[in-house]
Amino acid sequence: MVNLEWYRTFKEIYENGTLTKASIELYTSQPGVSVHLNALETYVGKKLFERTSRRMIPTEEGKVLYEYIIEAIKKLENAEQHFKKTTQDKYPSINIGMCSEMFQLIVEPELSKLNFDLMARFGTHTNLIKDLDNGILDLVITPRKHIEKKTLLEYIPFAKERIVLIAGGKTDTSIIETLIKTNNWKDLEDELLQNTWYSSSNEMEHFRRFWFENFNKKPTFKPNYILPNISSSIRCLSDGDGLAIVPDFLCKDEISNSKIKLIWEGKVRTENILYFASRTDLKYKNELDVIRNIFKRKMK
């Protein structure tokens, strides 16, 4: 089937009289317009314009072709304008990126209240920032600033997450708590190693960083269960037995309901600043402010 853009290009040349004016209407280059016209003439096997130094004069074959296609082209352009109006003006589509746990806890309960379309993407912070820089995402929630030269990205801090040690509701933590109160860090480390550990494949960095900052060494053991995400670890620990190192805001409800016990915030506080990362040339500022306000309200 013939490329419909060839017909669109032909229409603009016919109505504007020159390749230059047609390229301006199409927001493309003059060589690109010439390529489309040459391809269409090759396809129909006839010359559609007489080239002069000032104008492109349609041949009889060109006039006939124009009459055949003009109504169809106008209908397609009207459809394009209608689609653009309804989807972009009335229902803007916002693309955001963050960890899946944060989306489930913060954004999911608010979805039915939004008056715009929302697309969420999950992945590593590095990949999400790349998508933001390339214009695929409009907003990223991240604990890391990726500062590069010649970037259109800005980072606005809005909250902190604290990495803490938690235990399942049925875990006997009496010895651990006594060792923490007496600042017996060597025996504490040995005691922690005797327990069952949960972690997640997407946030092992929390685990390693907390251990290093509090025991001045990298952890020398692997967790017993490495699950897809932090929420899985929290669900497994609820009313269960074992330990995990997680951001505090992800388990506030479970701690208040005594399904999980907050054991230790660390002798050195392990914290991350959370940022709203966005482009300085962002669109849909009002809609993005709605998302930002949801996070500010829920992470006070």
Orientation of helix 174-181 relative to helix 185-193, angle to 10°: 160
pLDDT, one tens digit per residue, over 250-261 is: 998 899 999 999
d(CA 295, CA 222): 33
Domains of the chain: 4-90 (1.10.10.10), 93-156+276-298 (3.40.190.10), 160-271 (3.40.190.10)
Backbone angle region of 182, left / alpha / beta, with phi > 0 → left and psi within -120 to 50 → alpha:
alpha
Contact 107, 138 (CB under 8 A): no
The 3-state DSSP class for residue 148 equals coil
d(CA 272, CA 254): 21
pLDDT category of residue 93 using cuts at 50, 70 and 90: confident
Contact 31, 20 (CB under 8 A): no
d(CA 145, CA 157): 10
Dihedral Cα 182, 184, 189, 194, nearest 10 deg: -60
Six-digit token pair at 195?
A: 């327990």
pLDDT at 151 exceeding the cut of 80 = no
Dihedral Cα 86, 87, 88, 94, nearest 10 deg: 150
pLDDT for 202: 65
Could you tell me which of 169, 153, 157 has the C-alpha nearest to residue 243? Answer: 169
Could you tell me which of 210, 224, 205, 186 has the C-alpha nearest to residue 263? Answer: 210
pLDDT, one tens digit per residue, over 218-256 is: 888 889 998 888 888 999 999 889 999 999 989 988 999
Could you tell me which of 87, 92, 84 has the C-alpha nearest to residue 115? Answer: 92
**CA-based Rg of the chain, rounded to a whole angstrom?**
30
Mean residue pLDDT of the chain comes to 88
Per this entry, what is the length of the chain?
Answer: 300
pTM for this prediction: 0.64
pLDDT, one tens digit per residue, over 46-90 is: 999 999 888 999 999 999 999 998 888 888 877 766 665 554 555
pLDDT for 21: 86
Q: Which residues contact 167 (CB under 8 A, 6 or more apart)?
A: 173, 176, 237, 242, 243, 244, 260, 261, 263
Orientation of helix 4-16 relative to helix 19-26, angle to 10°: 130
pLDDT for 149: 62
